[in-house]
Amino acid sequence: MAEKVDVMKHFYRLLHPRPAVLVTCVDSEGRPNALAISWISPVSREPPMIMISVGKKRYSNALIKETGEFVVNIATPELVENVHFCGTVSGREVEDKIAKAKLTSKPARAVRAPVIEECPAHLECRVKQVIDCGSHDLILAEVVAAYADPRAFREGLWEQEVARVLLHAGGNVYSKPSDYFRASGKP
């Protein structure tokens, strides 16, 4: 086996690729914004909770903390350009970032932040706790509504022939998952 080299500068990319999602939020006046992130994970089944990690300098960070709500919109590889736009352009500088990204916002079921119609699944969330983690805030949130296109997500799994989750490897590099396979249970 080759000797391993120091990769501390990119330590977090050892955990990639990760799902690239669009997080939508609104300001106190109801103006929507969208942010692309890949630092997201479930943290509890009961109550249903997730965590997202958002850079402190990001415009959406302030909006999420201000309103206490957001929506996670699950993106597919077909949306890679739209997602990358939302991850590289600030809502501070663009009036209607969702429209500029050529995406469609629709009302959510339980929160004020919109859903992105082109995404096949959504998690509507209410913030429970914000933890200072240095350059980023860890935002713990309860999932108050979760729904998906039944053609794309059935029996707890993505239908690989219909929809695949967009994965982010780092920078402007994305991928999609390959086919499912099952472990035998034996090493």
Strands 69-74 and 21-26: what pairing? antiparallel
Neighbours of 45 (CB within 10 A): 7
What are the tens digits of pLDDT across the range 60-111? 999 999 999 999 999 999 999 999 999 999 999 998 999 999 999 999 999 9
Contact 72, 122 (CB under 8 A): yes
Helices within the chain (DSSP H only): 59-67, 80-88, 97-100
Q: How far is CA 22 from CA 7, 50, 64, 106, 149, in A?
A: 28, 14, 13, 14, 16
Check: pTM over 0.95? Answer yes or no.
no
What are the tens digits of pLDDT across the range 58-72? 999 999 999 999 999
What number is the average pLDDT over the span 126-147? 98
What are 102's two structure tokens? 């050529």
How far out from the chain centre does Cα 64 lie? Answer: 14
